[in-house]
A and B are shown apart, each in its own frame.
Chain A
Amino acid sequence: MTRLSADEVQHVAELVKLKLTAAEIELFASQLSAILDYAAQIQEVDTSQVPPTATVLPLRSIMRDDVTEPRLSVDEALANAPNRQDSFFKVHAILDGSQ
């Protein structure tokens, strides 16, 4: 039986930068354990000769010509920004290696 620990949930939450409450961590640990348990049935399938499906389409090499197109104005680009300074998006200072 797959058993996801609270630490593992917390580790993944940090990978995806998601703040979870202690209650959420506990809940997800048990729910995701159950889901992964159910999902474990796919392990029984012999796929040694089976290629993965990344896309169901037979398409290959879809490319565009190297031409420029109209851009947004600076104000359009920043119109939805929660925080801006001059023409920049603004975030708190990044302390190197602090993540």
Chain B
Amino acid sequence: MIDLSTLTIHACHQLLQKREISAVELTRAYLDRIERLEPRVKAYLHLAPELALAQARQADARRAGGEDNPLLGVPLAIKDMLTIKGMPTTAASRILEGFMPPYEATVISRLRALGAVFLGKANTDEFAMGWSTENSGFFTTHNPWDLTRVPGGSSGGPAAAVAASEAVAALGTDTGGSVRQPASWTNLVGMRPSYGRVSRWGVVAFASSLDQVGPLTRDVRDNALLLTAIAGADPRDSTTMPLEIPDYQAALGQDIRGMRFGLPREYFTEGMHPGVRQTIIDAVATLSDLGAHIEEMSLPTTRYGMPVYYLVATAEASANLARYDGVRYGHSAGADTMWENYRQTRGQGFGPEVKRRIILGAYALSAGYYDAYYLQAQKVRTLIRQDFEQAFAQYDALITPVVPIPPYKIGAAPTDPVEMYLTDILTLPTALAGVPCISVPAGFIAEDGASLPVGLQIIGKPFAEATILQIAYAFEQATLYHRQTPPLAHD
């Protein structure tokens, strides 16, 4: 019986290439494990065993026919914000319950063409609005490192699936930190690519100027592999950049000696958990040992990231979510008059966090408030971008924590939204600037007998994914935190 607990895409590839295992056997192994662990982890909203096995059989046939690539026959978990033909898409919202898309996301088509296997749709906060999956319209996903805690979010389902070895790797979406934050809290590598690097076509929209699809993987090599598979311009997404995709694998293993990293002091906030602070201090020391020059510097607009993000993202969301009206698809309340049916359909279908954000966004755009809120936010966003531009004139990358605190207990989140929104304060400015970032395992905090993962964020200049992968790989190979597995690894 194969040990799935540390299995990576590149390790699968070797096994499959050498015919030590077939894609069908591999897929069955994951489906079995999912059956055993799902009652405790609850990573998936929808499982598709038949489709997955059919894909696996096809992958085996293709490989028998001489085809080969690292993803051929590899089972993946996909966040339920991405559409896949033959599977329902809900964005974890009751309002989309039962929706079957007659199309699928460009990134899914690309993975399908390579022969990847889709195990199912993984849980998320409703419409990706949240930090814990507690805002899912269906259920909360549990953190495999401590099942009483949240896995982070909004890509908590895909992160938990990979961390619990219920998938080899996964795709999430990151609007303000939704890939990096759960990666940090589940000991995974999570990449938010540059805005414009990966197609958004077929990805349920939350905030169009911020949404990006990103890989959640067990190690940096896998992340590079998966990014290579999904990156690139798409004629159906006018916000993708027509750029060549560099050889990300080639960047791995090159040393980082002489590189210059900035350590923005604003990212070491008040209220930061001392364990997180210590982890980053240790990580900085490791990077220095590897030959990098690291110095403190300033990103003065950092504190505006949170308000700017919440005004811009909710404004866009208020429009993006207007289409859920119960006319063409999704939930319909069945009220007596047309307008009442609109109100009730949306009132019943959306959860509280989604409603709160729709109201905030519509308010920020409404007559009399547009200039003070939405427009001013977009102007301050320009200043945030300029901060990063200036930083990258001096530094090859910036080094920061991902989240100021370790994962909290399910149900223990602050009820005050302002306090809650501060959870992703360290991932928001980068999203607003559109720069690529990666979260890489950097250590653990012991709390209540649990070992809680902490991630390190490496931020690069636009479209310099290769650079941050190179740095992340050097750090990973020097520390090997990624090899540690959660307590349920061998359950």
Contacts and interface: CB of A to CB of B under 8 A. Distances in A.
Contact between chain A and chain B defined by CB under 8 Å: yes
Contact of A94 (B338, B376, B417): B338
A47 B339 CA distance: 40
Contacts of B209: 54-56
Contact of A39 (B102, B362, B373, B432): B373
Contacts of B421: 35
Interface string B366-384: 1000001101111111110
Contacts, number: 165
Given A43-B372, A59-B196, A91-B338, A17 B325 contact: yes
Nearest to B332: A82
B356 A31 contact: yes
B307 interface: yes
A66 interface: no
A93 interface: yes
Interface residues of B, number: 69
Given A20-B355, A89-B327, A52 B381 contact: yes
Nearest to A52: B378
B338 A92 contact: yes
Contacts of B372: 43
B97 to A, nearest CB: 11
Contacts of A39: 307, 310-311, 373, 377
B322 A42 contact: no
A38 B433 contact: no
Nearest to B301: A45
Contacts of B248: none
Contact of A16 (B330, B348, B358): B358
Contacts of B260: none
Interface in A32-62: 32, 34-36, 38-43, 45, 47, 50-57, 59, 62
Contact of B341 (A54, A80, A89, A91): A91
A82 B329 CA distance: 6
A18 B311 CA distance: 19
A47 B338 contact: no
Contacts of B380: 42, 45, 47, 50
Contact of B100 (A28, A40, A64, A80): A80
A41 B377 CA distance: 10
B1 interface: no
5 contacts: A32-B356, A40-B307, A47-B376, A53-B432, A95-B337
Given A28-B359, A80-B330, 11 more contacts: A13-B359, A18-B355, A19-B348, A32-B363, A35-B417, A39-B373, A42-B376, A47-B383, A52-B378, A80-B329, A93-B338
